[in-house]
Amino acid sequence: MTYKVALVSLGCPKNLVDAEVMLGHLPPERYQIITEEAKADIIIVNTCSFIREAKEESIQTILEVADYKEKGRCRLLAVTGCLPQRYREELAAELPEVDLFMGTGDAPRIAALLDEALAGKGGQLAAVGLPDFLYDHSTPRVKSSPHYSAYVKIAEGCANHCSYCIIPQLRGTLRSRSIDSVEEEVRRLVAQGVKEINLIAQDVTAFGAERNDGGNLVALLRRLVRIDGVHWLRLLYAYPDGIDDELIDLIAGEEKICNYLDIPLQHIDDAILSRMNRRVGEAETRELIERIRRRIPDVTLRTSFIVGFPGESEAQFEKLLAFVREGHFERVGVFRYSREEGTPAATLPDQIGERVKKSRYSKLMKAQARVSFRKNRALVGRIEPVLVEGYSEETDLLLQGRSIRQAPDVDGLVYITAGNANVGDIVPLRITDSSEYDLIGEICEDD
């Protein structure tokens, strides 16, 4: 019998890669992958549980798709990833609608587990093992992102142990792939027409640290830039103390590596950073930003901050707010601190109320919006390389895409008001206007 399978992936791009690997392990002669949950025999929800909002979204999604067991043709609902890895026993009791639970390291077993669940007598099956799986170039994977772009996970887990973070418990400690493995996967993706390679990990700058074979991020990038057909190499999630001069100079000197760095800082106050168990303080952060901008003048910097961390005083928040207003970053993501059980920060005194967190979140976002608008306005008149992604969701009269300054999903878009191009083309585009987060421009037909 052939089963129709629909998969819903929540959370970050790392989760998306996990979902693609799960689908890759389903024998195509027995499982047909579709996108409509209403028509699926099997629905898989790949969950996130990094913070409270992610857990709530995961639970809500599970409950929504569970309706298809009554209203649709679904006969099996599987919940995978971070949520069951963290809450296996609680979920089994609270979600009787779910037939199968799988953890973050169980993707290779999915076909066998689905067989077991389908052959069962209605009872739940919980198969949550150790979070020790690491895919490589030989791992089957069904790519679900657009044909011109792909995420490549170069490492799994994390060894930083920030006091607020649950990731090491969900994903295990740092495990890096070999350079040969990453290179082979990128070569295969490029052969399929991929132009943009987004290298992801919890911390890309830690790549290779535990292998003791001489391989590191710089060595990996030197290999990847030699691959014909790679147009954009983008680094996502670079821990600040891993960004050394060698990496900065390589980014500055290699045209294929996007002048773009996502550097999660989380705060700027030294006392807060110390309680977060972060290794880089204000002085080092300021020196790093100055060094990056001096060596890569046209760089786009993204960061993230946490507001409402336990004990964050009004003065400490105002210091962070003033730092954002200084305009160091083109992009900023802001998170309200989420008190996660099992983390050291959850036991800290002076927890901040939700009302204060929301107020601080709003102030920081508004401050960065003004910075982003000013930086986007400075781009008007420039010619930028833009990756065309298709017609705008707002109107089919406009094409849209992303400039080299915009990572997929998290940054803004470019709206193309003149010129023709195919989806997946990288074209020169003259910026004619901008908003807080988006750019507007015309394709330069003669260039």
For residue 169, give every residue at least 6 positions away whose Cβ sits within 8 Å of its Cβ, in sequence order, or none: 86, 342
The answer to whether 106 and 135 have CB atoms below 8 angstroms apart is: no
Neighbours of 322 (CB within 10 A): 11
DSSP 173: S
Looking at the chain, the number of H-run helices and the number of E-run strands are 13, 19
The answer to whether 445 and 300 have CB atoms below 8 angstroms apart is: no
Measure the CA–CA gap between 272 and 381, rounded to whole angstroms.
41
Query: Within 74-175, where are the H helices?
Result: 82-94, 110-119, 167-171
SS3 state at 301: strand
Q: Is 12 annotated as a binding residue?
A: yes
The answer to whether 90 and 342 have CB atoms below 8 angstroms apart is: no
297 burial via Cβ count (<10 Å: 0-12, 13-18, 19+): exposed
Mutual orientation of helices 282-295 and 245-253 as an angle, nearest 10°?
30
Provide the CA 30 distance to its chain's centre, in angstroms.
31
Q: Is 48 annotated as a binding residue?
A: yes
Pairing of strands 426-434, 383-391: antiparallel
Give me the half-sphere count of Cα atoms (radius 13 Å) on the Cβ side of residue 415. 16
Amino acid at 251: I
Q: Is 258 annotated as a binding residue?
A: no
Residue with the two structure tokens 């979920």: 91
Q: Is 444 annotated as a binding residue?
A: no
Q: Is 158 annotated as a binding residue?
A: yes
Q: Is 74 annotated as a binding residue?
A: no
Q: What tokens does 304 get?
A: 């993230």
Question: Closest by alpha carbon to 267, among 309, 305, 221, 226?
Answer: 305
Amino acid at 362: S
Q: What tokens does 306 get?
A: 């946490």
**What dihedral angle (degrees, nearest 10) is formed by the CA atoms of 129, 130, 132, 135?**
20
Residues of the binding site: 12, 48, 82, 158, 162, 165
Residues of the binding site for [4Fe-4S] cluster: 12, 48, 82, 158, 162, 165
